[in-house]
Structure 1
């Protein structure tokens, strides 16, 4: 039923504002089912006459319970835009969740700061609206203004516009802002910062459509158990992606106390990302099989050695077992801000009269696009 609700309005809905998901209790992990993942993928593939529906998702209100929005399969999907809540002072609200999948933030109410005013369900005025459920529709409204300025924007254009125009200036020091290896400032609460409606609308009319996205993947080869730390190195050497967008890690492991285990990822550029933070109230002992996502490595180069790490926090001594992991990077071969690649180049248009011209590797024309076919590492999504 949920999958049908996502897909049945593809012909006439441009933006979906979603302020729902699993309970933000800091205890559970809720992966997306294959059906729902496919439904979202269908939306960004077929929605808006092929330009892709815009799925805006509230990142969650579990901050008081140390929840991490990467535990929510909806908010951490590569097909959605996770939005967190910024207080009047520029700090994370008390209920904002700390995670690497949130793309940006917008304002919402925070104790003791004022709440958001909006219309109510009975033709009345509501003065006490707060939570990421208030931040999410504000973001959807900004995206609607952006589409009015340029209706031809694709769903991924919207992601890139956020990266290029969101602003970290004025955010509180506890927003956990740092700089990745590509020089992008990112926050563990607000992704690329506070949405800037004026900047997005001004940039939209002249925006160049970004190149199609490719993905590369690598599997973990080392398994083991330990009470303090387990690390695994994944070497990604045959990948044509040069500018990362999203990175996912699908991992299967068993903790004796999941909330005491922190999941880390180190990129070839040296950026350290906490994919999943320790959660005090998460006592789970069963096997965990979940896909975590980060936007914090945006525009980095994926080629090289990656390190996946399970680290015990609080008091060490709880045994951990790592069974498997899959690292997937999504991105482009050419600079996304420069627009789509030229015909005949990798990921560019091709046909019988416009053959693929390879400068490295083997390129073949597949479904009108030049793609590498010499290995398993590169594929279109």
Structure 2
């Protein structure tokens, strides 16, 4: 099972061409456009000194002058060489984890301040071998789940517009168990980058780590506020960060500074912002964080797309979720936030048609996520699109077309949407699955639905 670090090609080219010493002693000002108001959150008195963030990647230069005080061996491990110090080999291709760690937690000694400076930094080295097995990946994502608050992840399946891959059994169970039971019952926060395959016609609906009931994923916008050209969107993206066309200074290997861009940066930046919210209120659950992001994200900062509005009055778009992260508003709301309480669930099985009646849904009054599990049988799955309409008329595209994807079938897949956040789930939901390809044999296109699940309060 191959894993690809999420870096856009232009980032690698720049890193090869730029002398890293040019960037030394020049701090990132975090005045990226459009503004996420990170500095304003700091000025309100928040860092992340009571929060632990683990970067799950290719290792971290834990001796870096900007990281060594933040680093804790208690929440770190090398799953490549099975040692306590997750240090990468020195190579231009092995500083990705160090770069992401800097965006989260660097201390301002040389390369600047991380968004969540003050945080305890965990480094979990998982990448660096040609293949990964499910057990190893699961162990890494379950490591020290009661000590780690946030797992920051900037890798996933190939962003080639062809691949459809999801976590295997042990990995998915580690994510599910952590999100529900980690942090001593508050739930670990798994932050995922949505992907860099936009220019390949890719979509994160076919990435089962992003399109996942238990992870929080982020898109990225450029300095104009438009979704970055390489960025992937899908119905599970919760919000976006800025900096999509910026080379952001961060830590590199051997105590040097480097630069990073792409959706890799989005996951790390979002992890830092969430760490500030947990500093403001350590009692926040994983679901509280989702509510706070939805209700404080800024759609007015986004350009060049038309937002949809759901029946709860929330604006959304697959590329950017509910808008741009607003760090200041997030921490201010977090400080006085009342916990949402126990999650409620409605399930429907034995689904025989495209209309799903949940009028008898008991317990859930406001939707958080909708998860449809099933299989699409088709000779060219990239020619199938799927959307679902709520009882209130809100439409979410669960599966878009992928013109390059000529593989057959999509089996036992979770199609996840956050677009109905805040809506009442009761009534009839309408599922539509359409083949854009005119098939000679109609029997070669079938949809087998296993479960329709609504989570919420």
RMSD after superposition: 1.6
- 2:307 equivalent among 171, 177, 186: 177
Deviates more, 1:191-200 or 1:302-311: 302-311
Q: Which runs of 5+ in 2 are unaligned?
A: 1-135
Aligned partners of 2:301 and 2:323 also within 8 Å: no
1:321 alignment partner in structure 2? 446
Match of 1:270 in 2: 393
Q: 2:427 aligns with which of 304, 307, 331?
A: 304
Displacement of 1:288 in angstroms is 3.0
Instruction: Tell me the TM-score normalised to structure 1 length.
Output: 0.80
Q: Is the 8 A contact 2:301 2:324 kept in 1?
A: no
- Specify the alignment match of 1:30 in structure 2: 165
How many pairs are equivalent? 318
Q: 1:51 and 1:221, CA in 2 relative to 1: closer, same or farther beyond 3 A?
A: closer
Matches within 5 A, 1:140-179: 140-174=271-305, 176-179=306-309
* SS in structure 2 of the partner of residue 144 of structure 1: helix
Give the counterpart of 1:244 among 353, 361, 367.
367
- Could you tell me whether the CA contact under 8 Å between 2:139 and 2:171 is conserved in 1? no
| 1:220 positional shift | 5.1
**CA distance 1:221–1:11, change in 2 (3 Å):** closer
How many Å apart are 1:57 and its aligned residue?
Answer: 0.6
Shift of 1:46: 2.8
Q: Are positions 1:261 and 2:384 aligned together?
A: yes
Aligned to 2:211: 76
Contact 1:237 1:304 (C-alpha < 8 Å) held by counterparts: yes
**Aligned residue runs from structure 1 range 176-195, under 5 A:** 176-195=306-325
CA contact (8 A) 2:194 2:233 kept: no
Residue 239 of structure 1: how far off its partner (Å): 0.9
**Relative to 1, partners in 2 of residues 1:78 and 1:324: Cα closer, same or farther, differing over 3 Å?**
closer
Separation in structure 2 between the aligned mates of residue 121 and residue 155 of structure 1, nearest angstrom = 32
Look up the match of 1:122.
254
SS at match of 2:147: coil
The alpha-carbon distance between structure 1 residues 263 and 76, as it changes in their structure 2 partners (threshold 3 A), is: same
d(CA) in 2 for partners of 1:261, 1:182? 29
**141-150 vs 41-50, greater mean Cα deviation:** 41-50
User: What corresponds to 1:331 in structure 2?
Assistant: 456
Shift of 1:107: 1.6
Which one has the bigger helix percentage? 2
Tell me, yes or no, if the aligned pair for 1:10 and 1:48 is still in contact at 8 Å.
yes
- Gap regions ≥5 residues in structure 1: 223-230, 333-381
Question: 1-side partners of 2:349 and 2:390: how far apart?
Answer: 15
TM superposition shift of 1:7: 1.3
State the distance in 2 between where 1:169 and 1:286 align.
Answer: 39
Q: Partners in 2 of 1:199 and 1:64 — Cα distance?
A: 33
Q: CA deviation at 1:283?
A: 0.3
Q: CA offset at residue 253 of structure 1?
A: 2.0
Q: Identify the structure with the greater strand proportion.
A: 1
> Structure 2 CA distance, aligned partners of 1:122 and 1:290?
42
TM-score normalised by L of structure 2: 0.67
